[in-house]
Amino acid sequence: MAGDPRSPVSAVAEQVESYRADFERLRPARAGEPEWLAELREASLARFLELGFPDPKEERWRFTSVAPIARRTFTIADGSARVEPAELSAATFGAELDASRWVFVDGRLAPALSDGGAAEVEVMTFAEALDRRGDLVREHLGRAVGADRNTFAALNGALFSEGVLVHVPAGTVVHRPVQLVFFSTGGSARAATASYPRTLIVGGRDSQATVIQAYAGREGAVYFTDAVTEVVLADGARLDLQRLQRESMAAFHISTTSVRQGRDSHFSEHAISAGAALARADVNQTFTGPGGECALNGLFVAEGSQHTDTHTTIEHAAPHCSSRELYKGVLDGRARGVFHGTIAVRPGAVKTDALQVNKNLLLSREALVNSTPALEIFTDDVKCKHGSTTGQLDETALFYLRSRGIDAEAARGLLVYAFAAEVLAKFNPEPLRRALVSQLARRLPLALEVA
């Protein structure tokens, strides 16, 4: 409560003060930005200062403490660090992808590492987009994340530097995926850095594309990534968004993905959360027109003392839409996983067809997962189902494999792989799927090559 005399107001003020200072420091560099954007930034900062860092008493943050982020001071990375191309392969789990690649190092476009250039899709930094596609950016930026009471999205709105626009023009089918790599070089525990990646994807009417976002960093580096992605799909548009999170194990990763789907549009998300000491991903999707389809598929893997949290909301605000969600978690060591999935069916959204499944595998006694499905249904004549299971490796299956000559560790790995395979099988393109399988398998002591 605001009037609570015990509330550590000064501490909170101190925590957010450095971000206000960052904002002021950046002000001169942003003098050239259009007025509407300056207003958006001011409003975002005001919302961030008002909300502050989330409190564990808030329902959406009940199981995830952001104290490790709040108590640190991060300086905005200046983007001058050099990165060798070889370092980037970790971002895609080692996969060599045939994709138009755009690399952002510490929040800045690194042209030398990017090979961009796909004729049929427009990919450009906001600086360029404001010049060439000003109306488009103005129309959509900040709309999908909107008035969410999301403090990290607000912080990103205030501080993002080199945002990127992916515009798939109406009627365009893009075969080669667009790959956006956000690489952080970070710093030490005493000199941690922050970056605020911002992506706006606009899918024109009846367009079709695949966008791969890969978040990674220098191993062991301490940094904070606060990413926001907005996806706006016009009627009949199709987008496959792949979100690969493989940050440094000492990093903090917060991402917000907000999706608005028009009539008969199709959105699929494939997400891997494998890195970071503390990771939180919010996916908020809304059907704004009838006939849309949405598929969310995700795998989170955590070990040691990692904490990984996924919150998804699928909002059926229009009739005749269908959503499918499959999220799986594999937790080892003392790791903690959180999955919270909301399906909201608004009044009038008849013939909604929604299915949500969350399955978790605990590999140690200390690992823990909190899984909370939430249905909010305000319409009759809908089909909504959800299921959540959490369990250990099946001892009988383990014995079955060993009784055929496979050693205990490999048998464990094989069963973990088998658990994850249901989600991994949905990943495309093929080289990425293979890389994910072999990399994750290696992490999860699978001593076998998987055919």
Partner 1 sequence: MSLLDVRNLHARVGGNEILKGVDLTVNAGELHAIMGPNGSGKSTLAHVLAGRPGYEVTAGQVLYKGQDLLAMTPELRAREGVFLAFQYPVEIPGVSNVYFLKAALNAVRAHRGLSPLDAVDFLALVKEKAKVVDIDEALVKRPVNEGFSGGEKKRNEIFQMAILDPTLAILDETDSGLDIDALRVVSRGVNQLRSPERAMIVVTHYQRLLNYVVPDFVHVLVEGRIAKSGGKELAHELEARGYEWLETPAVR
Binding positions for partner 1, rule: CB under 8 A: 394-397, 399-408, 410-411, 414-415, 417-422, 425, 448, 450-451
Place of tokens 């070990």: 303
Nearer to partner 1, 326 or 368 (CB): 326
Nearer to partner 1, 316 or 359 (CB): 359
Q: Rounded to whole angstroms, how far apart are CA atoms 25 and 46?
A: 16
Q: At what angle do helices 395-402 and 408-424 cross, to 10 degrees?
A: 120
AA letter at 156: N
Nearer to partner 1, 29 or 451 (CB): 451
Shortest distance, position 248 Cβ to partner 1, whole Å: 30
In sequence order, the β-bridge partners of residue 377 are 345
At residue 420, the 3 state secondary structure works out as helix
Nearer to partner 1, 189 or 451 (CB): 451
List the one residue out of 146, 202, 203, 213 whose CA is nearest residue 177.
213
Nearer to partner 1, 12 or 406 (CB): 406
Q: Rounded to whole angstroms, how far apart are CA atoms 168 and 136?
A: 12
Q: Rounded to whole angstroms, how far apart are CA atoms 358 and 3?
A: 39
Sheet of 266-273: strand order equals: 108-109, 100-105, 178-184, 208-217, 238-246, 266-273, 293-302, 322-331, 353-362, 383-391
Nearer to partner 1, 177 or 413 (CB): 413
Say which DSSP state 345 is in.
Answer: E
Shortest distance, position 443 Cβ to partner 1, whole Å: 17
Rg (CA), the chain: 21
Shortest distance, position 405 Cβ to partner 1, whole Å: 4
Q: Report H helices in 4-117.
A: 9-26, 35-51, 67-70
Sign of CA dihedral 434, 432, 428, 290: positive
Shortest distance, position 436 Cβ to partner 1, whole Å: 13
Nearer to partner 1, 146 or 387 (CB): 387
**Strand-pair category, 100-105 with 108-109:** antiparallel
Shortest distance, position 408 Cβ to partner 1, whole Å: 7
List the one residue out of 352, 351, 361 whose CA is nearest residue 391.
361
Nearer to partner 1, 112 or 425 (CB): 425
Nearer to partner 1, 10 or 403 (CB): 403
Nearer to partner 1, 209 or 363 (CB): 363
Shortest distance, position 303 Cβ to partner 1, whole Å: 21
DSSP per residue over 279-323, as a string? EEEEEEEEE-STT-EEEEEEEEEE-TT-EEEEEEEEEE-SSS-EE
AA letter at 394: D
Shortest distance, position 344 Cβ to partner 1, whole Å: 31
Q: Rounded to whole angstroms, how far apart are CA atoms 14 and 441?
A: 43
* Phi, psi (rounded to 5 degrees) for 443: -65, -30
Shortest distance, position 441 Cβ to partner 1, whole Å: 12
Q: Environment class of residue 63 by beta-carbon count within 10 Å: exposed (0-12), middle (13-18) or buried (19+)?
A: middle
Shortest distance, position 311 Cβ to partner 1, whole Å: 27
Shortest distance, position 59 Cβ to partner 1, whole Å: 34
Shortest distance, position 322 Cβ to partner 1, whole Å: 24
Nearer to partner 1, 378 or 399 (CB): 399
At residue 34, the 3 state secondary structure works out as coil
